[in-house]
């Protein structure tokens, strides 16, 4: 019966998908002839700035671990922050799953329908939700309560999270150049500040490059981070050529023997095409000055934008090859399921997640910790 239900649902979903919104089908959204002021590129800024603290534990190898229920592999404090950062999404998923079974209900069509709604609300995505519901439906005879349902979901979600390629952790180039891109307000400059503080406190020589020359405030913001982190910054005047700043940044990094260069970029210029062309030019200039660089192109996505983040990823990746994603502001949303969407829909590793504004709230993404923090 549940399987019949699922088939019916799937047909319904396919119909819906072929008519209007396609949250899982990113190509639709940015074929539109629009500019960065449109919804794909639209962002809202939220307030605040980070404190300087240190420490980022390397995540454990996911292949060597079971999904032990709620047993943190990281230090307790870091896992606690992750859990508290994901509390809105956890509340949605976990609390509501408990409620699904209220009154000793068993898994039936209605329960599956409610579960489907929950997963979609968390922004796991229509297609991924369909896959999850199908797998739960197949196992329904073995599931008699919320804890079993959560365990089954955890297992399946972990599979999806592990389907993305793992980030390359080996850093061998000196200087190691990371170009940071993404639309306005997603948290590019903040991440640069956090990464710089961390690297500097572990003894690395870091140079920040203020290649977001679009607004004077953007240069000042990076300057403040450079002072907090105690690292050098290369900057020009507002509205100067960002590629020229990048050129000087790389030159300085080589001359000063820097270990790491973090290049900040603008998220909004006059049109979408101009933005992408500007980013390509910055990248070309960096490569010319230092062959092999940039070693990483880190795309920052804001979790509060939900499925829109996927569209942005496709857009940026088409223009400039992205090597890793950082998903910020998970603390501000119940749409944490977007991490699952990103991992299962994109071939780009999810490298960092941001669960707050403090330094330790930028964490290396660890699928096991993530599912344990979710349920
Ligand atoms: P940019 O325009 O991409 O450079 O974005 P900013 O770095 O200026 O960040 C925009 C706002 O988002 C700032 O107020 C940051 O403090 C905030 N922010 C960045 N990451 C996070 C996060 O993980 N959680 C929360 N709550 N706020 C964040
Ligand atoms: Mg910025």
Least confident range from 52-66, 150-164, 290-304: namely 52-66
User: Residue 73 — very low, low, confident or very high, per pLDDT cuts 50/70/90?
Assistant: low
d(CA 91, CA 259): 41
For the Cβ of 336 lying below 6 angstroms from any atom of ligand 1, the answer is no
Distances (CA, A) of 264 to 14, 94, 178, 180, 191: 41, 37, 9, 6, 10
Residue 45 to residue 63: CA distance in whole angstroms: 37
Q: What value does the mean pLDDT take over residues 186-201?
A: 96
- For ligand 1, whether the C-beta of 81 sits within 6 Å is no
Confirm or reject: Cβ of 45 under 6 Å from ligand 1. yes
Mean per-residue pLDDT of the chain: 83
Is the Cβ–Cβ distance between 177 and 286 less than 8 Å? yes
Q: Please determine, for residue 144, whether its predicted confidence score (pLDDT) is greater than 50.
A: yes
Predicted local confidence at residue 171, as pLDDT: 74
How much is the average pLDDT of 192-200? Answer: 96
Average pLDDT over residues 18-46: 40
186 Cα nearest atom in ligand 1: 3
Residues with CB under 5 A from ligand 2 (ion): 188-189, 218
Between β-strands 350-354 and 362-364, what pairing exists: parallel, antiparallel or unpaired? antiparallel
Ligand 1 lined by 47 (C-beta under 6 Å): yes
DSSP class of residue 167 equals P
Dist CA 192 CA 208 (whole Å): 8
Q: Is the pLDDT of residue 155 over 80?
A: yes
Specify the residue with its C-alpha closest to ligand 1, atom 20. 187
Measured in Å, residue 34 CA sits from the centre of ligand 2 at 22
Strands 232-234 and 324-328: unpaired
Q: Which helix (H) or strand (E) holds 353?
A: strand 350-354
Q: Lowest mean pLDDT of 42-46, 138-142, 301-305, name the range.
A: 42-46
Determine the length of the chain.
375
Q: Give the atom of ligand 1 at the shortest distance from the alpha carbon of 43.
A: 2
Looking at per-residue confidence, does 344 or 168 come out higher?
A: 344
Q: What is the pLDDT of residue 61?
A: 41
Closest-approaching ligand to the CA atom of 191: 1
* CA nearest to 234, candidates 258, 215, 267, 202: 258
């Amino acid at each position: 019966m549940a399987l019949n239900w699922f088939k019916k649902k799937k047909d319904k979903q396919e119909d819906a998908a072929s008519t209007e919104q396609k949250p899982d089908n990113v190509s639709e959204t940015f074929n539109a002839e629009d500019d960065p002021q449109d919804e794909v590129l639209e962002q809202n800024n939220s307030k605040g700035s980070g404190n300087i603290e240190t420490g980022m534990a390397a995540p454990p190898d996911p292949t060597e671990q079971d999904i032990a229920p709620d047993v943190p592999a990281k230090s307790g404090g870091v896992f606690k922050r992750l859990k508290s950062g994901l509390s809105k999404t956890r509340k949605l998923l976990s609390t509501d799953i408990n409620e699904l079974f209220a009154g000793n209900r068993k898994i039936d069509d209605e329960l599956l329908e409610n579960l489907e709604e929950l997963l979609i609300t968390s922004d796991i995505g229509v297609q991924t939700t369909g896959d999850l519901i199908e797998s739960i439906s197949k196992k329904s005879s073995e599931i008699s309560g919320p804890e079993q349902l959560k365990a089954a979901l955890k297992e399946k979600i972990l599979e999806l999270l592990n389907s993305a390629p793992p980030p390359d952790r080996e850093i061998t180039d000196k200087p190691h150049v990371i170009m940071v891109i993404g639309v306005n307000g997603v948290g590019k400059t903040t991440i640069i500040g956090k990464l710089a503080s961390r690297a500097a406190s572990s003894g690395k020589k870091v140079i920040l490059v203020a290649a977001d020359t679009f607004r004077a405030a953007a240069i000042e913001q990076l300057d403040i981070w450079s002072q907090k982190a105690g690292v050098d910054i290369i900057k020009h005047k507002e509205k100067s050529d960002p590629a020229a700043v990048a050129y000087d940044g790389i030159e300085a990094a080589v001359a000063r023997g820097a270990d790491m260069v973090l290049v900040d970029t603008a998220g909004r210029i006059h049109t979408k095409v101009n933005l992408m062309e500007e980013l390509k030019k910055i990248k070309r200039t960096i490569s010319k000055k230092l062959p092999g660089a940039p070693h990483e192109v880190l795309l920052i996505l804001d979790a509060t934008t939900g499925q829109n983040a996927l569209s942005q990823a496709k857009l940026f990746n088409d223009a400039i090859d992205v090597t890793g994603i950082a998903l910020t502001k998970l603390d501000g949303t119940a749409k944490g399921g977007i991490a699952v969407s990103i991992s299962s829909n994109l071939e780009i590793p999810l490298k960092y997640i941001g669960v707050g504004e403090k330094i330790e709230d930028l964490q290396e993404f660890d699928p096991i910790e993530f599912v344990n923090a979710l349920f």
